[in-house]
Amino acid sequence: MGCDKDELSILFTDDAHISELNRSYLGREGPTNVMAFPMSDGSDSGVISVDTALREARATNESPEEVIYRLLIHGILHLMDYDHERSPRDERIMTREEKRLISLIREE
């Protein structure tokens, strides 16, 4: 994926904290499942709400681990400049890449 020398930090948090981050950085109200923050020094950060991930797991009949993997992949793709909100075409491209990477995890 071309990220040999990059660094990624992940914060697992709750809905209250990710709601604060969502409001502060994106101007959006309420919790979200994952946020990604590119940094200028070659390291990146991702934040995942465990509360939201657990709700998603119950709603989708996925295990909590599967949801966390999916959210990690989703956040990493955002850091690599994939953006499902840019256009329907970009959404299809990002979704296809998410599915490809998830299938690699499931093979192991």
Band the pLDDT of 44: cuts 50, 70, 90: confident
Evaluate whether residue 2 is within a structural domain. no
In this structure, what CATH number is given to the domain that contains residue 21?
3.40.390.30
47-71: pLDDT as tens digits:
999 999 999 999 999 999 999 999 9
Structural domain harbouring 67: 7-107
Evaluate whether residue 26 is within a structural domain. yes
Separation between Cα atoms, residue 55 and residue 61, nearest integer Å: 10
Which pTM value belongs to this model?
0.84
Band the pLDDT of 4: cuts 50, 70, 90: low
Evaluate whether residue 33 is within a structural domain. yes
Domain total of the chain: 1
17-33: pLDDT as tens digits:
999 999 999 999 999 99
Evaluate whether residue 32 is within a structural domain. yes
Question: Which pLDDT does position 8 carry in this prediction?
Answer: 84
Q: Give whole-number Cα distances, 19 to 24, 47, 55, 70, in Å.
A: 9, 11, 15, 20
